[in-house]
Amino acid sequence: TAAILLHYGCLLLSAVITYQMAQRFAPGASPALAVALVLTVPTVVWEASTAYIDLFMMLFITLSFYALMRYIDGQRRQWLLLAALNLGFALASKHLALFALILFCPGLLLALWQRKVPWRRALLTVTAFGALSLLLALPWYLRSYLATGNPVFETMWAFFGAPPERWNAQTDASLRRFLLIFGRPRTLL
């Protein structure tokens, strides 16, 4: 019960940050509507009722995005550091946060370029942001690699491989059955 409440708390904190972002960065938009859109996504509502990590990842990515936006506005280093730390926490929570890293780095570079920041400084800033984020998550990827031979275990086991005592046909079939409960099978439709 405590774990579920903690996970649910991440949803509430994400709602507060969403409200703040809408109010600060989208002056014509309704912050209440932005929060309502976040809170009514069926998967998000379902996740809030479980003891899992997805809403922690959502909170950390939201905080990272907010801090990046604040950094872009004033280019004060503490916002960049806060953005990198939160993205690092997201990466340490779940490797799917790598998608946020993949989006944030070019986005930050583009935003700095639009603000006429010299290319060298912009590239150094983006590199520092990405490296610090990954550095924070490195112990978890290293632990997973040492235990399984796969830094992102249990996904991508077919690419990295995994010890048979950790991954076999039965565990693969269990994962596939679990993934099938989310929508239709992986087809174009």
Residue 189, Cβ density class (10 Å: 0-12 exposed, 13-18 middle, ≥19 buried):
exposed
Residue 89, Cβ density class (10 Å: 0-12 exposed, 13-18 middle, ≥19 buried):
buried
User: What is the structure's pLDDT at 149?
Assistant: 80
Tell me the pLDDT tens digit for each residue of 36-77. 999 998 888 888 888 888 899 999 999 999 999 999 998 899
User: What is the structure's pLDDT at 147?
Assistant: 82
User: What is the structure's pLDDT at 173?
Assistant: 86
User: What is the structure's pLDDT at 29?
Assistant: 93
Residues of the chain whose pLDDT is less than 70? 154, 183-189
User: What is the structure's pLDDT at 80?
Assistant: 97
User: What is the structure's pLDDT at 116?
Assistant: 93
Asked if residues 38 and 16 have their Cβ atoms less than 8 Å apart, the reply is no
Cα separation, 130 vs 140, whole angstroms: 16
User: What is the structure's pLDDT at 75?
Assistant: 82
CB within 8 A of 90, min separation 6: which ones?
A: 56, 57, 60, 61, 64, 97, 100
User: What is the structure's pLDDT at 162?
Assistant: 75
Residue 152 CB coordination number (10 Å): 18
User: What is the structure's pLDDT at 185?
Assistant: 63
Cα separation, 98 vs 28, whole angstroms: 31
How far is C-alpha 173 from the geometric centre of its chain's CA atoms? 27
User: What is the structure's pLDDT at 189?
Assistant: 60
Cα separation, 168 vs 183, whole angstroms: 25
User: What is the structure's pLDDT at 144?
Assistant: 84
User: What is the structure's pLDDT at 28?
Assistant: 92
